[in-house]
Amino acid sequence: MRIVEEEADESLFFLELIYEFNKDRKDEIKILYIEGNEILSMTVSSINTALKSVNESAIANLKSKI
């Protein structure tokens, strides 16, 4: 998931760069940027949920008698 996060972030960077050289296509680039940002947001949320789940699981195991 971290790789997905990095790639999505990098894609947004390149969309910003493309925009600088193609301002006449602002509307098309904006749509792609919004979609990319949503993908990045979902990915970060998934990572945070997974980490929270792992941390809670580790704490629960500490209470185990085994």
pLDDT tens-digit readout, 7-41: 999 999 999 999 999 999 999 999 999 999 999 99
Q: Residue 56: its pLDDT value, please?
A: 78
Residue at token pair 């990572």: 47
- SS3 of 22, please? coil
Cβ atoms of 4 and 45 closer than 8 Å: no
Q: Residue 55: its pLDDT value, please?
A: 82
pLDDT tens, residue by residue, 48-60: 999 998 887 766 5
> What confidence tier does 45 reach under pLDDT thresholds 50, 70, 90?
very high
What is the reported pTM?
Answer: 0.77
Length of the chain: 66
CA distance 32 to 15: 8
